Structure 1
Amino acid sequence: MTDSLRGFFDDIDAPSRSLVVVNRTEPDPVRNLLDSLLDGQSVAISERDIPDTDEDLVLLVEDGEVIARSTLDELLDSVLLINSDLYKTGAIDLDEVELPDVLAGLDEVPFRLRGYPHSNKEKLLLIVVSRVIERIAAKAGGGTLRASFQRLSRLQDERGTHEVYRVVGSRGVDVHVYGIGDADPAATLPVTVHRGRSYPYRRSWFVVYDPPPEAETDRHAALVALEDEPNVWDGFWTFRPALVDRIEQHIATAL
């Protein structure tokens, strides 16, 4: 029985996966953007020229086998040319959020990601994964979504985040939000508020979706990240139903 969010890091598979950029025609700055997204992570990036294969393709490889593929254009449009302000302001509609297959395929790979000013890109990966989980919940139209914000006032201060949780809550999802009680999101949003000042409320970042049995999608999804240093996050995401259920139950009973 895991007694903390940190304990779930011991339960992930932590597979050894790498990215291969195939037949690149995009200029070096595009490759540099990809490098900056995964700088210092366990996911190696290499390049190869493979005849009779599409250009500007990115492959996700594990044990010599290709397990996912995306185009560089998909990575550019969804992550590499995006900044976090577009999500905060609501410039990107929830239905437009996409996570390329090669990034979704990094599930259960542990990351250590830095926010600004250490990095302009690394933390964005957690933001995009969070939005993807929220989109899954909105599309399903039921189930339970649990999300932490450190400061509950973010749900008011960030117009885009406020709109996302208005949409998700209005579609029949049981939404629970967690954080320091510096605001009352329930005054304007269809959410259940959980306030606290212990470590999980102040220093955790989680978005956990447990779908109902009758939902069109049975896609469980969870992101868990912990801020052990200022603006430096240890995190992972998973789509494994049994692990997502355990994380959701821990949050429901321990927080």
Structure 2
Amino acid sequence: MTESLRSFFDELVTPDRTLVVVNRSSPDPVRNLFDSLLDDQPVSITETEAADEPDDMIALVEDDAVVARSTLDELLESVLLINSDLYKTGAVALGEVALPDVLRGLEEVPFRLRGYPASNKEKLLLIVVSRVIERIAAEHGRGTLRASFQRLSRINDERGTRDVYAALADTDVDVHVYGVGDAASLSALPVTVHTGTSFPYRRSWFVVFTPPADVDGDRVALLALEDEPNVWDGFWTFRPALVDRIERYVADRL
């Protein structure tokens, strides 16, 4: 029996994965940006030359096999040249949010990520994955989305977040939001609000989407816990059974 949100971390069995920059032609500052995204994480970054590959290709390697590929440009456009303010202000439209295949392939890798000012990039991974899950929900138009915000006021304070949940209101997605604060402040949005003051409400960050049972589509979850101020342990997963169990835990226990 799952005893807490933290218990889901104990179930992760992460194979050894490496990101390989193939035929790098980009300058050192770009490579440094890439490195800063994954500093001190359980994913190494290496370089290689390959005559049959294009320049600046990123390969995700697991057990000596390439399991995903993305271009460096895809990473630059989706993460490396982006900052969190663009998501908060809504400068990045929901339909434009993308998760390159090599980052999607890092599912169930347990990351430990710092927010600003300790790091300009690390926490952005969680922000991008959160937005991707919200985009998937909007594209399905049905199903259930559960998301925590620590402070419910963030939904109104961050224009980009408000726009996302207003857009979801135009679909048939059943949206549930969790956090500390005044539920009445969200009365203009057709969402179900769950409030509390326990650890999951104050210090968890989850975004979980499950499509209807009769729909074949992505089940996806992000789960992160703030064990220290502005430091998050987190992972994301597309594994249907694990997503369903996280969704049921949130639905039944919070």
How many equivalent residue pairs? 254
Contact 1:57 1:70 in 2 (8 A): yes
Shift of 1:14: 1.8
Amino acid at match of 1:181: G
Shift of 1:182: 3.9
Say whether residues 1:110 and 2:132 are aligned partners: no
Contact 1:22 1:50 in 2 (8 A): yes
Contact 2:183 2:193 in 1 (8 A): no
Determine the structure 2 residue equivalent to 1:27.
27
Contact 2:183 2:195 in 1 (8 A): no
Determine the structure 1 residue equivalent to 2:63.
63
Secondary structure at the residue paired with 1:194?
strand
Secondary structure at the residue paired with 1:223?
strand
Whole-angstrom distance in 2 between the partners of 1:101 and 1:190: 33
Return the TM-score normalized by structure 1.
Answer: 0.98
Contact 1:56 1:72 in 2 (8 A): yes
Q: Deviations over 1:160-198 (max 9, x none)?
A: 001101112321100000000145353121110000000
Amino acid at match of 1:230: P
Amino acid at match of 2:222: L
Say whether residues 1:98 and 2:115 are aligned partners: no
Contact 2:58 2:102 in 1 (8 A): yes
Return the TM-score normalized by structure 2.
Answer: 0.98
- RMSD of aligned C-alpha atoms? 0.9
Determine the structure 1 residue equivalent to 2:233.
234
Pairing 1:14-93 to 2, within 5 Å after superposition:
14-93=14-93
Whole-angstrom distance in 2 between the partners of 1:190 and 1:182: 15
Whole-angstrom distance in 2 between the partners of 1:3 and 1:10: 11
Q: Deviations over 1:2-58 (max 9, x none)?
A: 111000001222221110000011100110001000000010000001112110000
Determine the structure 1 residue equivalent to 2:203.
203
Shift of 1:214: 3.2
Whole-angstrom distance in 1 between the partners of 2:238 and 2:42: 20
Whole-angstrom distance in 1 between the partners of 2:139 and 2:169: 11
Determine the structure 2 residue equivalent to 1:244.
243
Whole-angstrom distance in 2 between the partners of 1:140 and 1:13: 29
Contact 1:153 1:183 in 2 (8 A): no
Determine the structure 2 residue equivalent to 1:164.
164
Q: Deviations over 1:39-86 (max 9, x none)?
A: 000100000011121100000000100000000000000000000000
Amino acid at match of 2:5: L
Consecutive unaligned residues in structure 1, runs of 5 or more: none
Contact 1:21 1:59 in 2 (8 A): yes
Say whether residues 1:151 and 2:141 are aligned partners: no
Shift of 1:90: 0.4
Shift of 1:218: 1.5
Consecutive unaligned residues in structure 2, runs of 5 or more: none
Contact 2:177 2:191 in 1 (8 A): yes
User: Structure 1 vs Structure 2: percent identity of aligned residues?
Assistant: 70
